[in-house]
Amino acid sequence: MSGQFLLKNVLRIGDKATMPESATCLVRERALRTLAELPPLSPILNRLIANLAQSDVSFAKIAELIEKDTVLAGNLLKLVNSALYGRRGTIISVRHAVSMLGVNKLRNAALSMSVARMWNHVKTPSGWSQTSFNLHAAGVAILSDLLAQRLPVEHGEGAFAAGLFHDLGWLLVALGCPEEYERAARLFLPNEPSGPECEREILGISHAELSAEALAIWNLPQPIETAVRYHARPEQDAKWAESDRIPLSRIVNAADYYVQQRGNHLRTFEQGPQSCAELPDFLGLGAQLPSILNDFDAEFSTIQQFF
């Protein structure tokens, strides 16, 4: 089953020089061609995600599907028996675990664990850490979802997916254009931001634009594609001025920044951690911010053991 079909179902729930246009197109085409080469998720997971997207979700049917995927079933039982849920070794039934997690948490956990498991089987160039990539993607997804639950966000239901796939473009460059990736890795300096302009100078396209084009090929909803495209520069998102609700790109941008500063980043291209006390309140959350970040720490520390 192709990645395109899967992800349609997922979200129903040498020198630094400007590249010529022909080289730019070649990098883009080679990177996007890699999408078809990514290993697919299992048919069981496809059916699980399709069922989770339905309005009348049957927990019994969901539990039956999960029980057919031994790794996923074991991970979900481990998750609900973790300190995050205040229980240790007491839940042994998949159906009980499913009812405890609820639809949103179950979808998020199944998607992040399974996508990470899928991507761990691809061959990447030296200097690329798939574990760092997976942890960063999961962290941004979790925090984007938590922020969207507490703020008036445009298309907040897509926050987790937008966070999970916001850096997909970097993975595609690493897989499809390893020479260009390694050249970019050498040219980026530690602790200096890697703005889209710098990325275009080296690769001919920014990772955010490449990520968005990949999601368009996967037929993900337009609001998620837009959020990913503008997550590095949310002020360029037309939604910024169109609505009194916060654009999803701004949520992903803030989550990306927070997760980077807490030490979970793509080490080649992103900045290292700062003191948590120095983190700015981008979204005007005020007194809510410490509580949200505490919730993030608890959820992220629990799920990262699966990566």
Three-state SS string over 231-290 comes to CCCHHHCCHHHHCCCECHHHHHHHHHHHHHHCCCCCCCCCCCCCCHHHCCCCCCCCCHHH
Tokens found for residue 7:
């992800």
Bridge partner residues of 246 (DSSP) = 153
Residue 11 has pLDDT above 80, yes or no: no
Look at 238 and 109; give whichever has higher pLDDT: 109
pLDDT by residue (tens digit) across 54-66?
767 788 888 898 8
User: What pLDDT is recorded for position 6?
Assistant: 44
> Quick one: average pLDDT of 107-127?
83
Amino acid at 163: G
pTM value is: 0.82
> Quick one: average pLDDT of 226-233?
93
Domains, the chain, ordered by start: 127-306 (1.10.3210.10)
d(CA 57, CA 61): 8
d(CA 268, CA 189): 8
User: What pLDDT is recorded for position 87?
Assistant: 60
**Burial (CB count <10 Å: 0-12, 13-18, 19+), residue 220:** buried
Share of the chain above pLDDT 70, in %: 78
Dihedral Cα 64, 66, 68, 70, nearest 10 deg: -140
Q: Which residue has the tokens 């949200």?
A: 292
User: What pLDDT is recorded for position 227?
Assistant: 95
Amino acid at 89: G
Minimum mean pLDDT range among 81-95, 101-115, 140-154: 81-95
The answer to whether residues 35 and 3 touch, using CB atoms and an 8 Å cutoff, is yes
User: What pLDDT is recorded for position 113?
Assistant: 85
> Quick one: average pLDDT of 64-89?
82
